[in-house]
Structure 1
Amino acid sequence: MAYEDLIKSIESTAEEKKLEVIQSAEREVEAIIREAETESSAIHAQYLKKAERDLILESNRQKFLARQEVKTEINAVRLKLIDDAFALAKDSISSIRSDSSYPALFEQLAQEVITALVGEEIVLHIDPADSVICMNVIKKLGADCEVMQDITTSGGLSGSSEDGKIRADNTLECRLEKIRSLSTLEITSLILGDPDG
């Protein structure tokens, strides 16, 4: 019987050992599950924070793009208004020859060209429509100039040295373009507000 007691003792010890191993494994499994849940919560919180940051960044990017689009549209409207204003001005100068003040204006423009080319053999370039006014102005100013009726303009004239190296353009179209290039930003700011909105 001692043999049977020994076997029962071994079986009993094995059963206790088995229970201990199972309980230990269950505790380890529970610890692993708790740790995994804790890690999962931390990872979930990290992903939520990252998603929130990404949403804020995307929202800011979309707002920036929308503001830029609005600014671009406003600037396009501003430039269209300026284009329209200068087109209207160009149309209005096309009939300036019929204005009674045109001879005085032509004289002033001719004087500026002659002054700019002082010391040169001056060639005045005019529209044929201004030939009579130009001859009267040259006589009045006592200027020694060659006159060529070789340009088409709404008014005014241009001049050059005889060799063509020095030019002075004083046509109304040229003056209008100079005004436009020098004052577009100023016009935009004064009349329409700051270009940046």
Structure 2
Amino acid sequence: MAEQTSAVKIIEKIEEDAGKEADAVLKEARNRAEEIIKEARSRAKNEEEEILQKGGREAELVKQRIIADARLRARKRKLDVKEAAIQAAFSEAEKEIQKVGTTAKYPSILKRMIKEAAASIGSDNIEIVAREADRKILTRDFLKALSKEFGANILLAPQTIKTRGGAIVRIKDGKIEADNTFETRMSRMRDSLRSHIAKILFRGV
């Protein structure tokens, strides 16, 4: 009877220890599960924040690209408008130049342009190549007076040129010449004129 009681106690002890061990295992399992869940939530939150930050950075980059593109297009449009205005001003200037060749002041203008071109050549024997309409201005008396004033022998070449005004002045053998026609003069001055026109048109813009 005593042996049976002892055996029962041993069994109860084993069952008690097994129960405690099972509880400990379950508790550890629950704790580990909670840690895993906590870690997963933390990772998810970090990933979410990273995604949001990345999305924010990408959105900012997109916004900056859009702004830069808009500024570039606006600048190009502004430059296009300025260029159109400058070209319109050049067109008007060319129209006015065309009129100069028919004014009363033109003979004195032509004379000055011939003298400028002749001075750049530096020769005693010079030919003037002019447009057909100017041959009536460049008479023998005109050339004689010009030769005396300039201190050189100045003649009118038989050839003519197509121009709005001005002339080509050359050494008689044709090896050296100075083109002082309206068109060439305008072309030479185009860059400085462009700057001057831009200042007038866009002052304060």
TM normalised by structure 1 equals 0.84
Unaligned runs of 5+ in 2: none
Distance in 1 separating the partners of 2:13 and 2:163: 125
- Where 2:168 maps in the other structure, the secondary structure is strand
Percentage of pairs with the same residue: 26
* CA RMSD of superposed structures (Å): 2.5
Q: 1:113 to 1:74 in 2, by over 3 A?
A: same
What residue in structure 2 maps to residue 144 of structure 1?
153
Report how far residue 166 of structure 1 moved: 3.5
Number of corresponding residues: 195
TM normalised by structure 2 equals 0.81
What residue in structure 1 maps to residue 55 of structure 2?
51
1:113-192 equivalences in 2 (<5 Å): 113-119=117-123, 121-135=125-139, 136-142=141-147, 143-146=152-155, 147-162=157-172, 164-192=174-202
Higher mean C-alpha displacement, 73-82 vs 90-99? 90-99
Judge conservation of contact 1:123–1:148 (CA < 8 Å) in 2. no
1:1-197 equivalences in 2 (<5 Å): 1=4, 6-7=10-11, 9-119=13-123, 121-135=125-139, 136-142=141-147, 143-146=152-155, 147-162=157-172, 164-193=174-203
Report how far residue 112 of structure 1 moved: 0.5
Higher mean C-alpha displacement, 77-86 vs 172-181? 172-181
- Where 2:167 maps in the other structure, the secondary structure is strand
Distance in 2 separating the partners of 1:11 and 1:163: 133
Runs of 4+ in 1 over 6 A off after TM superposition: none
Distance in 1 separating the partners of 2:135 and 2:32: 110
Distance in 2 separating the partners of 1:169 and 1:111: 12
- Where 2:137 maps in the other structure, the secondary structure is helix
- Where 1:188 maps in the other structure, the secondary structure is helix
